[in-house]
A and B are shown apart, each in its own frame.
Chain A
Amino acid sequence: MTAVNPSSSPSLVARLIETGAHQKLLAFASLVLLLIGFSIASPNFMQTSNMIAILQATSVNGVLAVAATLVIITGGIDLSVGTLMTFCAVIAGVVLTNLGMPLPLGVIAAIATGALCGLCSGTFIAKMKIPPFIATLGMMLILKGLSLVISGTRPIYFNDTPGFDLISRGSLIGDIFPALPIPNGVLILFLVAGAASYILGRTVLGRYTFALGSNEEAVRLSGVNTDFWKMSVYALAGSICGIAGILIASRLNSAQPALGLGYELEAIAAVVIGGTSLSGGRGTVLGTLIGALIMAVLTNGLRVLSVAQEWQTVVTGAIIILAVYADMVRRRKA
Chain B
Amino acid sequence: MLNRRTLIGAASAAALMLSGNFAFAQETYIPLISKGFQHQFWQAVKAGADQAASEMGVTITFEGPDNETMVDRQIDMLAAALAKNPTAIGFAALDSQAAIPLLKQAQEKGIPVIAFDSGVDSDIPVSTASTDNIAAAALAADKMADLIGGAGQVAVVAHDQTSRTGIDRVDGFVNQMKAKHPDIEVVTVQYGGGDHLKSTELTKAILTANPDLKGIFGANEGSALGVVNGVSEMGKSDVVIIGYDSGKAQKDAIRNGVMAGAITQNPVGIGYETVKAALEASQGKEVPAHIDTGFYYYDKSNIDDPKIAAVLYD
Contact = CB atoms under 8 A, between A and B. Distances in A.
A binds B: yes
A157 interface: yes
Nearest to A151: B162
Given A169-B101, A259-B70, A41 B17 contact: yes
Given A47-B83, A50-B83, 4 more contacts: A34-B13, A44-B23, A254-B95, A326-B8
B20 interface: yes
Given A44-B85, A256-B95, A38 B16 contact: yes
B144 to A, nearest CB: 25
A154 B61 CA distance: 31
A248 B13 CA distance: 31
B98 A258 contact: no
Contact of A45 (B37, B79, B83): B83
Nearest to A33: B9
B307 interface: no
A17 to B, nearest CB: 11
B95 A155 contact: yes
B97 A252 contact: yes
A60 B83 CA distance: 21
B76 interface: yes
A307 interface: yes
B16 A37 contact: yes
Interface string A155-184: 101000000000001000000000000000
A258 B9 contact: no
A309 B66 CA distance: 10
B4 A329 contact: yes
Contacts of A50: 79-80, 83
B25 interface: yes
B160 interface: yes
B109 to A, nearest CB: 10
Contact of B161 (A56, A153, A259): A153
Contacts, number: 145
A304 interface: yes
Nearest to B1: A330
Given A254-B97, A258-B160, A326-B1, A306 B83 contact: no
B23 A42 contact: yes
Contact of B72 (A40, A60, A309): A60
Interface residues of A, number: 56
Contact of B69 (A47, A57, A259, A305): A259
The secondary structure that dominates the A interface is helix
A10 interface: no
Report the contact-size class of chain B (Cβ under 8 Å from the partner): 35 or more
A254 to B, nearest CB: 6
A6 interface: no
Interface in B68-97: 69-72, 75-77, 79-85, 95, 97
Contacts of B80: 50, 53, 300, 303-304
Q: Which of B6, B37, B72, B98 has the most CB of A within 10 A?
A: B72
Interface of A: 26, 29-30, 33-34, 36-38, 40-45, 47, 49-50, 53, 56-57, 60, 153-155, 157, 169, 248, 251-254, 256-262, 299-307, 309, 311, 315, 319, 322, 326, 329-330, 333
Contact of B81 (A169, A303, A309): A303
Contacts of A299: 76
B115 to A, nearest CB: 18
A31 to B, nearest CB: 10
Interface of B: 1-2, 4-6, 8-10, 12-14, 16-17, 19-25, 31, 37, 61-64, 66-67, 69-72, 75-77, 79-85, 95, 97-98, 101, 160-162
Nearest to A252: B98
Nearest to A59: B72
Given A43-B23, A258-B69, A305 B83 contact: no
Nearest to A258: B69
Given A40-B17, A57-B79, A252 B72 contact: yes
B162 A155 contact: yes
A42 B12 contact: no
B37 to A, nearest CB: 6
Contacts of B17: 37, 40-41
B83 A49 contact: yes
B16 A26 contact: no
Contact of B75 (A37, A252, A260): A252
B20 to A, nearest CB: 3
Nearest to B33: A303
A322 B67 CA distance: 26
B19 A307 contact: yes
Contacts of A326: 1, 4-5, 8
Given A42-B22, A50-B83, A262 B66 contact: yes
Q: Which of B82, B85, B97 has the most CB of A within 10 A?
A: B97
B69 A261 contact: yes
B2 A253 contact: no
